[in-house]
Amino acid sequence: MNISTPKLVGRQRNRPLKNYAGKRFGRLTAIELVERDPQWNDHLWRFVCKCGNSSIHRIKSVRSGHTNSCGCLAAEKLIGRNTTHGLSRLHPREYRSWKDMRARCLNPNNTDYKDYGGRGIAICERWNDFALFLSDMGSRPHGTTIDRINVASDYRPDNCRWATAKIQANNKRSNHRITIEGDTKTLQEWCDLFGIEPSKVRYRLSQGFSSVDAFKLVDFRLEPNCQHPNR
């Protein structure tokens, strides 16, 4: 649909104005032409914003994306920045974890990117906002950092926890996991449970011991009733 206008002095032809009524640009929806700009073809249009406010803007600024709201979007971003800045001062350790998490997943120049973003580990959209991250994770206890429960999955509320270095060490992808009677734990976890040195268990496994015998506390060299695999 075009809006007809009288021919302007000095113009060779009378080009009809394009009608933007009903078209949406960002948060703005064009309503009606308010004033025509005969020199630069940069007409004023009335828009209604997603927030409900009505405002007048130049059509070129709106079409280019330079103006995409009545002003509410800029205000929201400013509030968001101030909120994040305020929270970061009140919760510096949680903020550092949030920033480091984002760097590992989003910054190819980060030294850890290859093990995170580089292998497809992402961050849920909700956690783009530090305030929501803090709300979901809560305060970070001393001696802990953020840990993904399923190390093959993303950073999201149901897959993350604050964990100690020991817990995280037991949750590494490279850990040797052993199943005994249907229960799977890392080698270190089994050693902690039975009170035996990991080096001793690794040696026994390398010699062919079963997973059960490898964790026995007896010395196989001194106990003739124990079944050494080479006997």
Q: C-alpha distances in angstroms, 111 versus 42, 152, 221?
A: 49, 19, 47
**Cα 135 from chain centroid?**
15
Q: C-alpha distances in angstroms, 189 versus 15, 35, 163?
A: 79, 75, 15
Looking at the predicted structure, is the pLDDT value of residue 2 above 80?
Answer: no
pLDDT in tens, 82-109: 666 678 888 999 999 999 999 999 999 9
Count CB neighbours of 151 within 10 A.
Answer: 15
Helix (H) or strand (E) holding 56: strand 54-58
| The pLDDT of residue 221 | 46
HEC per residue, 101-164: HHHHHHCCCCCCHHHCHHHCCCECHHHHCHHHHHHHHCCCCCCEEEEECCCCCCECHHHEEEEE
Question: Residue 116 corresponds to which tokens in the numbers above?
Answer: 């995170």
pLDDT in tens, 152-188: 889 999 999 998 887 776 655 555 667 777 776 766 6
Average pLDDT over residues 23-42: 88
Average pLDDT over residues 133-137: 92
Average pLDDT over residues 193-219: 72
Domain range list for the chain = 16-70, 91-168, 175-231
CA distance 161 to 170: 14
Max mean pLDDT among 4-8, 60-64, 171-175 falls in 60-64
Percent of the chain residues topping a pLDDT of 70: 75
| The pLDDT of residue 151 | 81
